Amino acid sequence: MLLITRDLPPDVLARARREHETRELHLQGPFAPQSVLDNLAGVDAILCNAADKFDAALIADLPASVKVIATVSVGLEHIDLEAAAARGIAICNTPDVLTNATAEVGLMLMLMAARRAGEGERLLRAGQWKGFSATFNLGRDVTGKTLGIFGMGRIGRRLAEMARGLDMQIHYHNRHRLEPALEAGAIYHTDDASFLGAIDFLSINAPGGPQTRHWLNAERIGMLRPGAIVVNTGRGSTVDDEALIAALRSLHVAAAGLDVFNNEPNLNPGYLTLENAVLLPHIGSATVETRNAMGFLALDGIAKALAI
């Protein structure tokens, strides 16, 4: 029996039903562990997503029949991997297939934030556009600027490739320096001050979790050049919201483009009144092609784990 916690694209659901007896919960909104615990009879596999928090307590309460948890996400912060390993439960995620889609959203956020796209569209829809003016809605060029990538994994590297198409110079900060073929000319910084002081755009592509929690805090924001632009398509937990909101208000950070937030979907309300913040509802991987590929990969992982 496959327990499916959330909605899935139709083709993915059809395949899941062909391959398994399914119990489909279609959960919406914040996760309540009890909704899983109440539905575990006969379950050997669970298909969930990043909104479902499988912490140590929930994993400890899973019956022995559960052999695998597959998440339709590349991020794994919502699953206690140690607790799962201790119970012998396999964990599968969906790397690679969302790399392009998420990098596209990173680039889109850079462009939208720099060119004040959200602000202009809101104004037009409100009937306040007075026609072309040489001084109206002036943003900043993206082409030729310096992009700093915090977290130069698959998505960060794909964003770098796309940004090179805009003649951007790439700098990055990572736990480890990449081999030259992966670096592709990007400049590696070991320390925050040299990295943040060298860039016009900061893209956060690092995973969440304790090691990156509130990495972008007031101190590091202070190391950015005045007028820098920040985008985040990684995890909201990497940002100290109060610090970023203060910097957006003072315009030390000229604009931000955010697709991920602390405490989704209840983001810090301070963002909502900021014209210089582009806010997207965690759609980095939200294309038909990508979500199908993610769902199929998760089902592949389940098939493999159950065959062992």
Q: Is 74 in the site for ligand DGY (CB under 6 A)?
A: yes
- Shortest approach of ligand DGY to residue 248 CB, angstroms? 23
- The Cα 299–Cα 289 span in angstroms is 15
> Does residue number 237 form part of the binding site for ligand DGY (CB under 6 A)?
no
Question: x/- contact string, 17-56, with ligand DGY (CB under 6 A)?
Answer: ---------------------------------x------
Nearer to ligand DGY, 75 or 295 (CB): 75
Stretch that binds ligand DGY, among 72-80, 142-150, 163-171, 300-308 (CB under 6 A): 72-80
Maximum pairwise Cα distance, the chain: 67
Q: Which residues contact 261 (CB under 8 A, 6 or more apart)?
A: 236, 241, 267, 268, 271, 282
Q: Residue 213 catalytic?
A: no
167: burial class by Cβ within 10 Å (0-12, 13-18, 19+)?
A: exposed
Stretch that binds ligand DGY, among 17-25, 36-44, 70-78, 195-203 (CB under 6 A): 70-78
With contact defined as beta carbons under 8 Å apart, do 224 and 196 qualify? yes
Q: Which residues contact 238 (CB under 8 A, 6 or more apart)?
A: 150, 204, 206, 208, 212, 213, 214, 215, 216, 232
Please say if 264 is a catalytic residue. yes
Catalytic residue among 154, 157, 171, 235: 235
| 75 binds ligand DGY, rule: CB under 6 A | yes
Query: Which residues in this chain contact ligand DGY in the complex, by CB under 6 A?
Result: 50, 73-75, 98, 284-285
* Residues that are catalytic: 235, 264, 282
